[in-house]
């Protein structure tokens, strides 16, 4: 093999290795996800694509209103769901007459579809979050599943595609 051919092959191999490393790093930081179900309408719809960041959760704290990906196990199957954080540890969450109240303040939730059914009066435990879907009539959320430990949060939605 000629010296020039060896250099070209070496450059291709180097480029391939760099590409694999870059794709691997990006996939650890950001990944695409397809929304399944209608529990986040009118914000996200069934079959919408979103970009989720794992890294942003290491850099910034979660706040009320963030859309996050949560993992939970049910009947031996692990599910990923997208929901909105309503309360953080220590927050007093109430649902009274279809109104969501956080620390004594009624939340202005112009993104909500449907009626927020349920009577809730709780303080979010340390290290946990209280979450709801935007389509309250169809959402399986903290009203049913309870509060989740922050370790169940796998990423934060950064953009809808």
Residue numbers annotated as active site: 39, 83
Beta strands (DSSP E) in the chain are 30-34, 49-53, 67-74, 77-88, 92-96, 99-102, 105-106, 120-123, 128-132, 148-149, 153-160
Cα 106 to Cα 93: distance, rounded to the nearest angstrom: 10
On whether the CB atoms of residues 131 and 102 are closer than 8 A, the answer is no
On whether the CB atoms of residues 128 and 149 are closer than 8 A, the answer is yes
On whether the CB atoms of residues 86 and 131 are closer than 8 A, the answer is yes
């Amino acid at each position: 093999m000629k010296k020039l051919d060896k250099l070209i092959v070496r450059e291709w191999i180097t480029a391939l290795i760099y590409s694999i490393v870059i794709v691997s790093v990006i996939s650890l930081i950001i990944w695409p996800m397809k929304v399944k179900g209608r529990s986040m309408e009118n914000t996200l719809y069934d079959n919408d694509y979103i970009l989720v960041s794992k890294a942003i959760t290491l850099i910034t704290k979660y706040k009320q209103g963030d859309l996050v990906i949560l993992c939970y196990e049910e009947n031996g199957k692990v599910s990923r769901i997208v929901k909105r954080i309503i309360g953080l540890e220590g927050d007093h969450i109430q649902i009274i007459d279809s109104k969501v109240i956080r620390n004594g303040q009624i939340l202005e939730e112009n993104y909500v579809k449907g009626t927020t059914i349920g009577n809730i009066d709780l303080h979010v435990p340390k290290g946990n979050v209280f979450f709801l879907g935007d389509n309250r009539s169809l959402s399986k959320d903290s009203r049913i599943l309870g509060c989740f430990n922050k370790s169940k949060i796998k990423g934060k939605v950064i953009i809808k595609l």
